[in-house]
A and B are shown apart, each in its own frame.
Chain A
Amino acid sequence: MIRQIYIYADTGTPIFSRKYAEVKEVDINELLKFIVPIAQNLNEGSIEHTDITRYRISYMRLGRFTNVFVSDRTSETARVEEALVNFSRHLETLNLNLPLSIEEAKVLEKISEETVSLIPVKICLVGFGGVGKTTILKLLRYEEIPLRYEPTIFGERAMLVIPVGPYKAVLFTVGGQERFMPIWDILIRGSDVIFVVTDSTPENVERTKTHVLPIVRETAKYARIIAIANKQDLAMALPAYRVEQILGLKTFGCVAIDPAYREPLLNLIKEILLS
């Protein structure tokens, strides 16, 4: 996902910026002081990237402008480059006057939002069979909650009905049966957010820690990983804070068959992605 967009004039003056999602751990403004002069010396049209923690700063000079995208490293470089090239070319066709008029700023805002929306956010629900991944997917999509357990074959995919900020979000679940574990990496790869789902029983939480977490951590290095302690309504359920202690992950206690959990879960997604 592209989190922030910055446009600089050839003088190095910032002329436009939009923050669609926060960037933590890194002071982007400080970084830009170093990066923008480098970007302005690039060959026209060439793109460079600087990776720092879980973020990628991509920059390109085209015509009068130097454009900088701050994205997550979970996004494929080729996709970010394509978005940056198209954005820069579009900018070139606008014949902008500096300083920007209000109308011109509005146009830029529209183009920026369209650009960030081109790269969807991927959210993947991972966990063993029967822990409620499909139920959570249906809960988030305002669909009827299934009352009968039907194992997922390979994986499921569906769009999140409500956009998260300017982003479109795609939800994936993995088939939880053991025979599908060798191909979980295919579904996990490229995820921005991974929900590790357990049914909150001590046995399942333990197995999740030893079997699921290593796959998730190895496959999606830069994704944000959160646990969902599902089935909190059952007698054998460990409370969410205990699951959090065992897994070492921020954990959301949930009863996916209860629609009351929908809004808190959607808010959690927004918080994870945007804050």
Chain B
Amino acid sequence: MGSRRRIVIGAAPGEAATFQALVAEYGSPLLVFNPAALQRQYHLLSNALPGVGLYYAVKAHPNAHIVRTLDELGSGFDVASAGGMEMLTELKIPGHRTIHTHPVKKDREIRDALRFGATTFVVDNPGELAKLVPYRDRVGILLRISFRSDHAAVDLSRKFGCGLDEVSGMVASAQRHGIHIKGLSFHVGSQCTTADTHVEAIEKCGELMLTTSQTTNAPLSTLDIGGGFPADYGLSGIDIDDYCRPLRKMLAALPDDWHLLAEPGRFLVAPAVTSITTVTGKSERHGVMWYYLDDGVYGSYSGQVFDHAEYPLQVLKTGDTRPSILAGPTCDSIDIIAEDIQLPELEIGDLVIGRQMGAYTAATRTRFNSLPDARFVYAGK
């Protein structure tokens, strides 16, 4: 099995010294956060989607430094759990700048979200709608629609979302209960390679909102286009403005008084965090070089299991390459970051760099083998 993973061999002038200095100061393994990269991504996406309110999907990387950086840019926040709301509360971010997007909720979670000040909720079936009826005078509901994408790395429309044909029935039922469905939301999936499904979803939701609004006295006016904007795991230089061009065209055709929002996570935060791990052991087995690192798939590289991501890897030296395997620190044989890759021979103490590691990395790490978490380092000014 050949890997399509991007491997970078060697470092730009000064780059190796920077990584080594970070490890000398903070130890290893590290996750190094560069706020300037996050700011850049936020501006790129805001400019590519004018008129669309951006709500950072906090679950992608629920970290206070990241949230604070986005807060300073005026971002909104998409929260799906009480833990997410607690963090925003501590950072003094008011509830009106958040939306609660988990389609399945306990009553206690609804009450806590309302108390926090989040009044937008997402539902995708009549049972979930019924849970919000006691709070009907306070909440605004988005109906989540399922759109299956053939171009997404992670399909988010299998587990959640109702069909377009169910919308009119849900809107009518909501009206009978005196609860307001203010619009539709969808998630085309994560890490989409083209905007085709996004465009189709906007078109179909837009049409449906218009026709539904004509037959009801409670117009649908909010469209949440979700996330799915890709991170550059191939280091090939994704042009987000280019990617969003067909979306912009479609969104521009919608009525001016509609409220548009998106829930980017991965696109914003992936390039803003870099993993640094250290080779702690090596051995040659059956002609292949095995390198044992101090971080792995139970830690920062957990997204390789849960998120199907293949992060670009970098070694700082150059030289003749050999077939190599990078393995994580746990005793489990699935704890392998990369195999069938060609690397120059590494020594114990050498650093291995993981790029584009801001999204769904630390967020899904485990406590397996009781290994310490990679330390989060803020590399801002």
Q: State yes or no: do A and B come from one complex.
A: no
Q: CB within 8 Å of B: which residues of A?
A: none
Q: CB within 8 Å of A: which residues of B?
A: none
